[in-house]
Structure 1
Amino acid sequence: MFENYCANLRFNYRCVIILFITLLPLNNNLTAKENTLVLEAITEDAYTLSYQTDEGEIGGYSVELFKAVMADAKLEYELKVVPWARTYRRVQNEKNIIVFPMAWTKERASKFKWVGEITPVNYTLYCLTKDLPSEPMSLAQLKKQTIAVPRSDIRAEHLKKNQFTNLILTTGNAQLTNLIKRGRISYFLSSKIGLNQLISQNNMKPSDFTRVYSFKDLQTRLYFVLSLQTDDEIYNKISASYKNIVQNGTYEKIMSPLFKLLQHNSHM
């Protein structure tokens, strides 16, 4: 009887050990999954680079580029569209945030981890053609005009630094459009990409706008950036994947339609 009890006990003990060993990988996988890093990816309403449809889908050239990079890096993320001023505050103070498109400036160079370039960009001062003065204005005269620029943007920073004081700070092109339609402003600072958005989404024509001044210091490039607090291991992985998609032709495939569009509208 005792021998049978011991045999059963040994058998049950072996079963417990086998069950434990069998379930151990599942427990490890569960823990790994729970601890998987999910980056917070934030973009803005900057058609055609990035935008959100009425159905909630997020698209655009820079979004497709971002997805290609992250797929190569095999990293998980949650992508959302957030007003730029709020995004800019958060990416300076929080960990594991990737933001795009971010314009490079000397002042910003040390504040973020710069992953890879999306596209060159030039910002120009435009005027509604119907409100254009009969004689060209000097820079001193332009400084007295009411000008719309996005809040917390390098355009606002540049104009403030150069004594443009009559500024209306906007949250994006939607507010800019509203200001134009209400006759509140005639002047605004935009890139060709932003002007394309304004025209295409509001049934306007390129001839409705006239370039009045180009700022040499506002010729820069747009990037993907990581918050400075993000681990270097993540930065290196995403940077390597960005280089991969440039080298394998994915970057050119995604971005070439945009470059052709901007070249076609080079007169704007």
Structure 2
Amino acid sequence: MKKIIYTVFVLLLLTGFLVACGSTENLTEKNSAMENSPGEKPIDSDLRIITEEFPPFNYKGPDGRAAGWATDVVNEILAKLNQTSEIEILPWKRGYEIAQKGPFVALYSAARTDERENLFKWAGPVAYFDYTLYASNKSGITIKSLEVAKKTGTTGVVEDDSRNQFLKENNFEDIKVFRTDAECLKSLISGEISLWLGSSTNAEAIAKEEGLDLLTFTPVYQVRTVEMYIAFSPDVPDSLVDDWQSALDEIKADGTFDEIRQKYNITATSKESVPDSPAAVAQQALHTIISDTDGMIRPVLLSYEVLRETSEVKSGEWGKISPLLAALEKNQPDARTWYALPDGSYYTVVDGLTSASLKSRPYFPDIIAGNVSVGYVVVSHSTGKNTGIVAVPVIIKGNTKGILGASLYLDALTDKTREKIPEPFLFFAIDNEGKFAIHSEKGKISQSISAYDRNKSLKTALEEIFNSSSGSCSYEEDGVYYNAVFQQSPFTGWHFAVAWPA
């Protein structure tokens, strides 16, 4: 009997020890939201959640609490996880610095860019916005390129915002930083700055919030579209980030995400039904976009191959080359034509000699070696837009003396492709470096497919598409299952795909 009592006593002690050890587990594992049962009282997320004033995505509501499109999404995620958390509204610079250092911080809405990729862990996307340059209506300013913008005067931007980083990367020197976009806009209207790098997604909302006249400022140059995510500090465990991503995928799949978009007058995801024989429709669409894309790029290449044999181009004199490229650009408005020298300096029809260099571009050494280049995806130095490169070497006596090139606007190509591909079909193409060249969600253009490592289903499908010449596959994204057909273009080398809800 004593032995039994002793054994029970030891087991109780051991159980207590294990419970005590469990209480010291990582807070994330303890609070992994997917383990909470429905009906339980919400638990604290243990995350410090931070946002900024950036309507309509996130802003201070009438009750002083965080509100807005992205805030509603974050609150729905918390509800799915049966968690709760206060949301702080801080100036972007301060919130951004806190999120990089941690501990246990979630920051939204953050543009996911190459420069930020390894600074955070990511869940999303929750929204998208574009980079647009604005000027005062009375200024008379017109902008045709980033080169022109650099010389126009002071450009205002929110400090440490992705747009601030974009200006620095593109060698803008006359930059004035502000705490908020509202401060930028007020300074633009007052004449303190010449340009504001804002966004057409929320410029009007900011003006209304501040009681500013919408007729006092105007967009003068649209740059590109980017996706916005929830950024987690590096110390946040992968399991928690995965929980947030799964919850976000669920609210996209069950219609909650679209309800939030409609609440803020944002176009909801297409509800078009899948047609009969979707695989046949997708296969035809696939052939169409490959044919159309090749049909747009091939004439540019052929024109350049003819031009490089002319005496004007072989002279290497920009004054003689410029009229030829101007004629080409007039017939191809969705491209920027250029001529580069072997040292990387280059000219455009709009800017003349630019301040940037092409020497660090991945395609440059290959062209200098005497090879034609088709299809590299880059963000243009001169325009700031997502572009696909077509370039030919100008060879004299066996040496490359110059390069004729065109930067094709990929957002415009995507828009034209969307006109041919009916909803609810999705489409995309991947270049030979693993970047999206076109995508029905334009915020993904120029992104690397490696950014989707957290979604094993999508990652596997993208790798199969990238490493195969043709075929079919299935994958899950945003809580929706898709079937897809894909094929590589032998001309551009791009891997095209058309997908539809399964």
Q: Give the structure with the larger helix fraction.
A: 1
Aligned equivalents of 2:93, 2:209: Cα separation in 1? 23
Letter in 2 for 1:143: K
Post-superposition offset of 1:37: 4.8
Aligned equivalents of 2:220, 2:155: Cα separation in 1? 12
Counterpart of 2:259 in structure 1 is 253
Aligned equivalents of 1:44, 1:90: Cα separation in 2? 13
Q: State whether residues 129 and 207 of structure 1, in contact with CA within 8 Å, keep that contact through their aligned partners in structure 2.
A: yes
The alignment partner of 2:243 has SS state of helix
Given the superposition, is the C-alpha separation of residues 152 and 62 from structure 1 closer, same or farther in structure 2, using an over 3 Å criterion? same
Aligned equivalents of 2:264, 2:100: Cα separation in 1? 29
Please, which runs of 5 or more residues in structure 1 have no aligned partner? 1-23, 263-268
Letter in 2 for 1:77: S
Letter in 2 for 1:255: R
Q: State whether residues 38 and 78 of structure 1, in contact with CA within 8 Å, keep that contact through their aligned partners in structure 2.
A: no
Aligned equivalents of 1:107, 1:177: Cα separation in 2? 26
Aligned equivalents of 1:56, 1:39: Cα separation in 2? 20
Letter in 2 for 1:187: L
Aligned equivalents of 1:98, 1:87: Cα separation in 2? 9
Given the superposition, is the C-alpha separation of residues 261 and 208 from structure 1 closer, same or farther in structure 2, using an over 3 Å criterion? farther
The alignment partner of 2:235 has SS state of coil
Counterpart of 1:226 in structure 2 is 232
Per-residue deviation, residues 57-86 of structure 1 (Å, max 9, x unmatched) = 221111111100111012232211011111
Given the superposition, is the C-alpha separation of residues 136 and 70 from structure 1 closer, same or farther in structure 2, using an over 3 Å criterion? closer
Structure 1 position 108 matched with structure 2 position 108: no
Aligned equivalents of 2:144, 2:237: Cα separation in 1? 49
Aligned equivalents of 1:76, 1:54: Cα separation in 2? 20
What are the residue-to-residue correspondences of 1:1-268 with 2, within 5 Å? 37-53=45-61, 55-133=63-141, 139-144=146-151, 145-216=153-224, 219-258=225-264, 260=266
The alignment's TM-score, normalised by the length of structure 2, stands at: 0.43
Aligned equivalents of 2:255, 2:62: Cα separation in 1? 31
Range with greater deviation from structure 2 (94-103 or 199-208): 199-208
Q: State whether residues 156 and 177 of structure 2, in contact with CA within 8 Å, keep that contact through their aligned partners in structure 1.
A: yes
Letter in 2 for 1:235: V
Q: State whether residues 154 and 176 of structure 2, in contact with CA within 8 Å, keep that contact through their aligned partners in structure 1.
A: yes
Please, which runs of 5 or more residues in structure 2 have no aligned partner? 1-15, 24-29, 32-42, 269-502
Given the superposition, is the C-alpha separation of residues 89 and 209 from structure 1 closer, same or farther in structure 2, using an over 3 Å criterion? same
Identity of aligned residues (%): 24
Q: State whether residues 46 and 197 of structure 1, in contact with CA within 8 Å, keep that contact through their aligned partners in structure 2.
A: no
Post-superposition offset of 1:138: 5.3
Higher RCO, 1 or 2 (CA under 8 Å, sep at least 6)?
1
Post-superposition offset of 1:36: 5.7
Counterpart of 1:5 in structure 2 is none
How large is the Cα RMSD of the aligned pairs?
2.7
Post-superposition offset of 1:259: 5.0
Range with greater deviation from structure 2 (182-191 or 84-93): 182-191
Q: How many residues end up aligned between the 2 structures?
A: 231
The alignment's TM-score, normalised by the length of structure 1, stands at: 0.77
The alignment partner of 1:69 has SS state of helix
Post-superposition offset of 1:137: 6.0
Letter in 1 for 2:240: I
Per-residue deviation, residues 93-139 of structure 1 (Å, max 9, x unmatched) = 11211111000101111221111111221111111111124x65654
Post-superposition offset of 1:54: 5.6
